Structure 1
Amino acid sequence: MIALKGITKTFTVNKGAVTALDDVSLTIEKGEIFGIIGRSGAGKSTLIRMINLLERPTSGQVEIEGQDVTKLDKRGLSKLRHRIGMIFQHYNLLKTATVEENVAIPLRLEGLDKRIIRERVDKYLDIVGLTDHRKHYPEQLSGGQKQRVAIARALAHEPDILLSDEATSALDPETTESILDLLLDINRELGLTIFLITHEMEVIERICDRVAVIEAGRIIEEGDVLDVFSDPQHATTRKFLKTNLDVPKEVVEELSTHGTLVNLSFIGHQSEQAVLAQLTKRYGLLPNIIGGGIKKLKGGLVGNLLVHLDGDEGQTDQAVRFLEASGVKVKEVTNHASVLGKLG
């Protein structure tokens, strides 16, 4: 549905050129939730603003349903933006307007009939769970409620695409969870394509189908969330996936003197199987879990464990072949530095 083709964006700063996006190409399928994750300054905000042309590319194409929208005239661009809703980190609500007025304002500016405006305000306040707060002002609302108003306002134009620009960054964990649940419901019930940017891996884990990692204006890794989580290829991605294991260097060095340290990745139902227990029964090997855990993603379960396999070389080789045959990805860790690389 959305295709970014060779997008480059260069800004002039202090008479010098700064490249915010460097030859970025992505495809977002209709009805999916696609996430972009990156550090501050990586180019996320510039990238999301390309979709509705709040920022125009220096070079490259932005296609929506096969149409290059960079070639649209002013009228065509206005129609395009009605098909694309957008929510922001800081809500952008009018403080002197009630909840229902904030949702209705863009519809009034569009010149829609009063009956249609009333019906849409009612519909989308109900969807976001704020019908009882319609007469309240923003200062009377919590952060999560303000974001729900912003979401209702974005949906009131009944768009095909919803853009989320760090929409949960200012919220506490519990409120973030409720907003993510709401976005999932909207995606399922309304069939909206959602394109979001974030620096929080928890957001990607919770609701995204696919993810791309951006660094210094370039996409460095992209794929299904399960695949990226189970086998990250880039060091930056591994940093985002940090498991916070605190394994003392002395312990790792001691374990490395006998047996083998391995990093195991489980996907889906494999995370529920007792494959490690089979290693002792089948091969007389003693697996010792040093650390790790299992995460529930939108697409299923993924587990990552650092395991010490205490046995001779023959036993270990057999055990590794068994694990791989069971669908477990096995990477040998030979020293402390590589352990940190796998975990961080």
Structure 2
Amino acid sequence: MRNTGGDRVQEAVAGCVAVLRTATDRDWEGVKAGGLTWSCRDTAFHIAEDLLAYAGQLAGRAQDRYVPFEIVPEDGVDNAGVLDVIETTGALFKATLHTTSREVRAFHPYPFRNANREGFAAMGIAEVLVHTHDIAEGLGLAYEPSAELCEFVLTTIFPHVRPGPAPWPTLLWATGRGELPGRAPVTQWRWHNNLVLPADRLTLEGVTPAAAADLHEGGDGGFEWVDGEPFEGTRVAAGLLLKAYEEGVLRPEFGVFVLVRREDGRAVGGMGFHAAPDEAGEVEIGYDLVEGGRGSGYATEALRTLSTWALARDDVRRILAKVEQDNLPSQRVVTRAGFTKVGEDDGLFIHELRG
């Protein structure tokens, strides 16, 4: 799983331009784009603005706000010229994605105030797809992007949305533009970039359903692993995350995190929650490290970081960690992280940490 999203951006832009070029001789200014208040022309230029803005966020490594710039079309530019701007900004965005390292995160407000290159790629593609739909609807054109593009968007920035019968109608429904059988209409929506928690020597990077699917199927999830691949427990946890996503019960921040070393950007293990907190505020945590990442205190550091984050929330009061009775290194990890042994269950020691 090494696609940075740039090729997908190019595909989305090409599909947008191909369908809209069939109607450049039409009046775009006097026609509203689907259910929007914007005209088709304003919506088309908005696509270009978004593509360049996202490129700017990543290229400028913006951390606290949007980079304060905008683009303005030349006076008298025609509809074909607007499409030229979309193609150009799409190419700039693609190049930025290809040259941005996996560890880079830049400012975006939803929901954790940052996103990585895959997140920005998915947001840019989403803008292209849904707004091309809006314009096509206003102009009476037929348009449907590939299922693969829609699935990339859904599994990257809509992890809280249960998959529907097909990716395109699901994306339209999730963005308030369509209906799905058995689901209430969406009137307000936001996409959901993955949570990242900084530690001392590590970064805990939340796994998206897209990355989880790749891990579960034997891939690397988009990470460079110290031993070449993750430990088996991480693949199992990714499968459980994927199952929760498919059932529509995934709360992404209570999923799986990959532990990435700051010094070289390489992954040393996985850690995460078995499920979201129950009504009593109880949640169980688990972890594993690849062999090359053991013996350096990474698991303890990550467990302290993730536990501190969880217990700072109103919906978490108690964290459980169940460790095999003969696994002395793991018992030392939970003890150093502040957990206390409170019982036994089927060959496991039960440890807890309370807020």
TM-score under structure 2 length normalisation: 0.28
Higher RCO structure (Cα 8 Å, ≥6 apart):
1
Q: Larger radius of gyration, structure 1 or 2?
A: 1
Normalized per residue, the structure richer in strand is 1
